[in-house]
Amino acid sequence: MSRPIHREESASIDRLAIRYIREAAQHGLYEIRGMGAKRAVPSFDDLVFLTASASRYPLEGYREKCESKTVLGTRYAKKPIELEIPITIAGMSFGALSANVKEALGRAATAMGTSTTTGDGGMTSEERQSSKTLVYQCLPSRYGFNPDDLRKADAIEMVLGQGAKPGGGGMLLGQKVSPRVAKMRTLPEGIDQRSACRHPDWTGPDDLKIKLEELREITDWQVPIYVKMGATRVRDDVKLAVKAGADVVVIDGMQGGTAATQQVFIEHTGIPTLAALPLAVEALDDMNVVGEVQLIISGGIRTGADVAKALALGADAVAIGQGVLVALGCNHDSYVQDGANIDATEDYAKLGTAPGYCHHCHTGQCPVGITTQDSVLERRLTPDVGAERLKNYLQVLNMELTTLARACGKSNVHHLEPEDLVALTVEAAAMAKVPLAGTDWIPGRRDP
């Protein structure tokens, strides 16, 4: 008679840890992947709205107007950005994404009256033509960066880092360095491209101030300059960005995505978006520039509720990357080609994954044709299909945002405030600096 098998999984050496250790021992290489952090962290889901009741008066959810117009870059720029909705498309590169996708982003953003953003690798003609409002990133690599495109931009985003890999440079593996990508980046075709983690022509915040002035001089002080940073030492970093002359500060929390970086970065660097946002707002308040310097928050924003909570905590707008890709078809089990739905699960399986779990953007073998430079795969998402899906998604987000705002009695989404929120967990209450539901307790905040 055999003995019963006793299974007690170790909390520290669990199956994930065993898999990690085995792979490290087998390959001698760390894992690279796309997307954002998969671990659970306190998030906007841990907050709820205190919508109107006897003490507050709601607006009619289907009829009464609720303004969502958003203006960014009012500090120094002669031509601030004016958007219809406070939901923008985050920077994602041509190279990471196909040209079809870049065009789809521009078309959807334009249809919804919002902005899209270039990425590492420069500005493509497709995205410039399709985007009414295009933000041009100035990244450490400076791939494809040039004064002609700079002057075509509606805003400039100086990128110091991103939430998925603050302090780390970029990667674009050789499968995605196609002839066009290689030419735009002045690199040999097919090499595993690394992007620098530091800018080549300035280092500290004092230099940054002079660098921003140079960009303003080149563009004749016409367009706003954003400064984007991964969320680490948020309070100090935001203050330095403001001192350096940013019109807009963009903070990207640890849930932010990437096309490719080391797993160890994705899961173990930066702080959650929920924690970063109040710190950024406090920094702007300390500098007495609330309303003068606008704040964009990104990193794991998916729903209209996320957007509403971000605005209530003090963001002027949000930027979305991964949610946008999912709207386009990322992690879907099929794609549309010639009007027909075609099953993609076998292609996911070839990558060793399945719909709903895929983070293999780095391979360039995207089963649904989004994060690829492969001429066959990229036909799996046409600009028409992508733009329609994304427009619908953005529309839903704004509808949810305005619905929640109306229920809080606000006729303008920018009137949402921290007082409209409570937290469901102690951790979220401490990070968001709103009371734990049913209490007046904000952990970490001393009584006045």
Partner 1 sequence: MTHAMQFDLAKLSVREINQFLHHQLSGSGVDRIEILHPDGNHSIAVGMDADVAVDILGHAGYFIAGMNKRASVTVHGNVGWSVAENIMSGLVRVKGHASESAAASGHGGLVVIEGDASSRCGISMKGCDIVVGGSVGHFSAFMAQAGTLVVCGDAGPNLGDSLYEATIYVRGKIHSLGADAREEELQAADIERVSHLLAAAEIDCDASQFKRIASARSLYHWNADAHQEY
Which residues lie near partner 1 (CB under 8 A)?
27-29, 31-32, 141-142, 145-147, 150, 171, 173-175, 185-188, 191-192, 194, 196, 200-202, 207, 210-211, 213-214, 217-221, 351-352, 360, 362-363
CA 186 to centroid of chain Cα atoms = 27
CA distances from 20 to 14, 27, 33, 215, 259 (A): 10, 11, 13, 44, 21
The structure tokens listed for 28 are 């001698």
Task: For residue 182, report the phi and psi dihedrals to the nearest 5 degrees.
Answer: -60, -40
Question: Angle between the 234-244 and 205-218 helix axes, to the nearest 10 degrees?
Answer: 40
Q: Which DSSP string corresponds to 2-26? A: PPPPP----SSS-HHHHHHHHHHHH
Question: Angle between the 304-312 and 383-407 helix axes, to the nearest 10 degrees?
Answer: 50
Nearer CB in complex with partner 1: 175/303: 175
Centre a 10 Å sphere on the Cβ of residue 356 and count the other Cβ atoms it contains: 9
* Sign of the torsion formed by the C-alpha atoms of 427, 253, 251 and 355: negative
The structure tokens listed for 228 are 């984007």
Query: Which is nearest to 89 in space by CA: 120, 67, 114, 112?
Result: 114
Angle at 234 between CA 232 and CA 236, to 5 degrees: 115
